[in-house]
Structure 1
Amino acid sequence: MMKKFILVLNLGSTTTKVALFRDLNCHIVKTYSHDKELISQDISAQKAARYDTVMMFLSEAGITPEDISIVASRGGLLHPVEGGTYLINDDMLLDLTSGKYGDHASNLSGILAAEFSKNHGIEAVITDPVVVDELCNEAKYTGLKNVKRTSIFHALNQKAAARKYADSVGQTYENLNLIVIHMGGGITVGAHHLGKVIDVNNGLNGDGPMSPTRAGSLPADGLLKYMAERNLSKNEMIHLISKAGGLLSHLNTEDVRDITADINNGNRHSAEVLEAMAFQIGKEIGAKAAVLRGQVDQIIFTGGVSYSNYVMDLITPYISFIAPVTIYPGEFEMEALAYGAYTVSNDRTLLKTYKAEGSHD
């Protein structure tokens, strides 16, 4: 039997989103923005403050842990897995806390869910983590034998937006060819072929278009020269590429609203940088159209940046010849996480088990 509420946790680079669902109906949802002092710290140093935020949310909502049936969490950086809903077990927690596959705020969602689970004896799960890997074999190759492309993208929201569009036209996700673009702090562009994301840029570690906080693809010679001239370590470069690149690097802000305000006040440099980002997004969409061999049913935009009419007006001329465009501003991750938890609560056969690489259990 389901108890009263599903607790949903979705931690991003700058925000903590928390919601309560009764079955599949959202009871309350709130987004807490964090100051730069907190979000500039390592994720382990953010844990206590972020956990306190979750408990404050429950207190404000008048809900106790006894009212929660299951915790539905965003997935973090793990080894590649197939899509679906997974129990947060010891193997997963170890990989999230160690940062074995990378450090990102999304790791904190599972870490906090595990803490809540331990403290209150409530099961915790993740659904469609960012490392869902459905890439076709060709997409994994690079020009160096021992370097492979990896799948790290906004899997949860891309798939949620794709299913939302499919429902709106009376189709199933598995019968459509779609290009889905999530535009948030990072930007990922996915080629969805009959329900599988067969090609997508790694939106975290230097691949695809630049974004509000990420550098995107960089010329290898320029990157190596930049690193050598400044005597930067690997970790310092990773930070630059994944947290301090893109709009933030060029304009000292990642907030598109502030940038467009500057443009409206005549700042030509801000306009040029935003135009360059739009150019890169359009180019990436064109590449995904080639992967789908021109058979594209719809181009779908989602994520917070897609609220910006200014940005959308910059991108559209590059892509309007490919397919019609649908915009779903914001994200549907909370609903998708609640759905994953709800389905495994009602059908335990759908719950998957995460095993650490090398585990033979």
Structure 2
Amino acid sequence: MQNKVIIVINPGSTSTKIAFYNREGELSSSNISHPQSELQQFEKIADQLDYRYQKIKPYIDGYISDHTVEVIGLVGRGGIVKPINGGTYRVNAEFLQDARSGQYGEHASNLGSLLVHKLKGEFSLPECYTVDPVSTSRLSEVAKISGVPGIVRDGRAHTLNVKMTARKLSKMYKVPFAESDFVVAHLGGGISIGLVSGGRIVDVNDGLLGMGPFSPNRAGALPLRGVMKLCYSKPEAEVKKLFSQNSGLKAYLGTEDLREVLDMIDKGNTKAELIYNAFVYQVAKEIGACFAASKGRAHAIGITGGIAHSQRFTDDLKKYVGRLTDYHVLPGESEMEALAEGFYRVYDGEEKVLEYPGE
């Protein structure tokens, strides 16, 4: 009897995660690295499609040849497309066009939908899917207001992991996801701190170029006077790269690795101690703001992402926010699991598949 499986694909900046899942969970996975020396030949993210396809195909073929399986679904991480509601989307022609063009943002996750669509024919599947793309944005109407007419607050975030963490907390508290309120902080190279209420992210900082704390390499919220001065003195592309890739811990201390920062502190580096304390402080302020936005109703605070592996950091953070409500640390990310669960919710009829671009 064949084991019915799905293939899950999550492209990152220098690697592609790929896994086989069934209803019980992950069966096999691989994280295939792509050296920068190979990627630099491609001008746009979408130009990497055939390259990445050829890199992941041997793993797919190898697993299928060694196991008796029937592939019943393909799901890839969705990228930066039009702002849309959360949920599981059928990858249609318009989604593919927007992901391929990069007109809403160049990001490796744009390749997720393109890769599963390319694989679709291999398994004679009529459809392929994506779940909670990066552009998922259903901020509350008040959260969208910026203070300047014509400038709207955006909600680009680590949507998959933020919502998956909220789902896990819902199960922990035995509260229906659609009736829950949680503050979730995804802390990694980028930072997304949001309020997940009623099953959707109603407020969150823009994890790439927006409000919120600085991150290991991103600027976060900045004083407007300084931003204006910098923007008038440098080309737009240079400023964008500075804010999104060369700021934060990296700019102050020359490293994006929190472990190295903590090592500097232990060796008596007072500057590293100041910057680290400011980092914890800014993360705590954003969490506090989201808790206030919940009107104090949030059942708990969930700390997730790579930085959550540092107990020293999470302990320091708890000193600020631990009295607000329950405090839970769920380190790492659950993006692959979230993609798989999103597929099965539609496959089992628990949710309706959505059509891009939606409302």
TM-score normalised by structure 1 residue count? 0.89
1:115 paired with 2:115, answer no
Q: Relative to structure 1, is the Cα distance of residues 343 and 293 closer, same or farther in structure 2, using a 3 angstrom cutoff?
A: closer
* Aligned-partner Cα distance in 1 for 2:15–2:52: 9
- Deviations for 1:280-309, whole angstroms, at most 9, x for unmatched residues? 110101111111122221000111111111
Moved more, 270-279 or 76-85: 270-279
* Aligned-partner Cα distance in 1 for 2:257–2:93: 37
The Cα of 1:33 is off from its aligned counterpart by 4.4
1:311 paired with 2:319, answer no
- The corresponding residue for 2:254 is 252
Q: Match of 2:110, SS?
A: helix
The Cα of 1:259 is off from its aligned counterpart by 2.8
Among candidates 70, 75, 78, match of residue 75 of structure 1: 78
Structure 2: 5+ residue stretches without partners: none
Alignment of 1:194-233 (within 5 A): 194-229=198-233, 231-232=234-235
Q: Which residue identity lines up with residue 133 of structure 1 in the other structure?
A: S
Q: Match of 1:326, SS?
A: strand
Q: Which residue identity lines up with residue 180 of structure 1 in the other structure?
A: V
1:189 paired with 2:193, answer yes
- Deviations for 1:36-90, whole angstroms, at most 9, x for unmatched residues? 4456764234434433332243245355998432211111111121111111111
Asked if the contact 1:24/1:342 (under 8 Å) is kept, the reply is no
Q: Which residue identity lines up with residue 193 of structure 1 in the other structure?
A: S
Q: Relative to structure 1, is the Cα distance of residues 38 and 263 closer, same or farther in structure 2, using a 3 angstrom cutoff?
A: farther
- The corresponding residue for 2:29 is 29
The Cα of 1:147 is off from its aligned counterpart by 0.5
Asked if the contact 1:78/1:96 (under 8 Å) is kept, the reply is yes
Q: Which residue identity lines up with residue 216 of structure 2 in the other structure?
A: P
- Deviations for 1:81-124, whole angstroms, at most 9, x for unmatched residues? 11111111110011011112111121121222222225554332
- The corresponding residue for 2:299 is 297
- The corresponding residue for 2:101 is 98
Among candidates 158, 180, 186, match of residue 184 of structure 2: 180
Moved more, 152-161 or 236-245: 236-245
* Aligned-partner Cα distance in 2 for 1:11–1:17: 6
* Aligned-partner Cα distance in 2 for 1:228–1:31: 42
1:340 paired with 2:342, answer yes
Q: CA RMSD for the aligned pairs?
A: 2.5
Q: Which residue identity lines up with residue 144 of structure 1 in the other structure?
A: V
TM-score normalised by structure 2 residue count? 0.89
- Deviations for 1:125-168, whole angstroms, at most 9, x for unmatched residues? 10111222221111001111110011111221111111111112
* Aligned-partner Cα distance in 2 for 1:36–1:265: 33
- Deviations for 1:217-269, whole angstroms, at most 9, x for unmatched residues? 1112211212333x22x233222222332222323332223333333333333
Structure 1: 5+ residue stretches without partners: none
Q: Relative to structure 1, is the Cα distance of residues 265 and 134 closer, same or farther in structure 2, using a 3 angstrom cutoff?
A: same
Alignment of 1:48-87 (within 5 A): 48-63=50-65, 67-87=70-90
Q: Match of 1:81, SS?
A: coil
Q: Which residue identity lines up with residue 105 of structure 1 in the other structure?
A: A
* Aligned-partner Cα distance in 2 for 1:97–1:270: 41
- Deviations for 1:20-48, whole angstroms, at most 9, x for unmatched residues? 10234210123344444456764234434
Asked if the contact 2:345/2:351 (under 8 Å) is kept, the reply is no
1:284 paired with 2:289, answer no
Q: Relative to structure 1, is the Cα distance of residues 212 and 220 closer, same or farther in structure 2, using a 3 angstrom cutoff?
A: same
Identity fraction in percent: 34
How many residue pairs match? The answer is 354
Asked if the contact 1:130/1:154 (under 8 Å) is kept, the reply is yes
Moved more, 14-23 or 348-357: 348-357
Asked if the contact 2:84/2:358 (under 8 Å) is kept, the reply is no
Q: Match of 1:105, SS?
A: coil
Asked if the contact 2:195/2:294 (under 8 Å) is kept, the reply is yes
* Aligned-partner Cα distance in 1 for 2:293–2:157: 17
Asked if the contact 1:3/1:69 (under 8 Å) is kept, the reply is no
Q: Match of 2:185, SS?
A: strand
Q: Relative to structure 1, is the Cα distance of residues 128 and 275 closer, same or farther in structure 2, using a 3 angstrom cutoff?
A: same
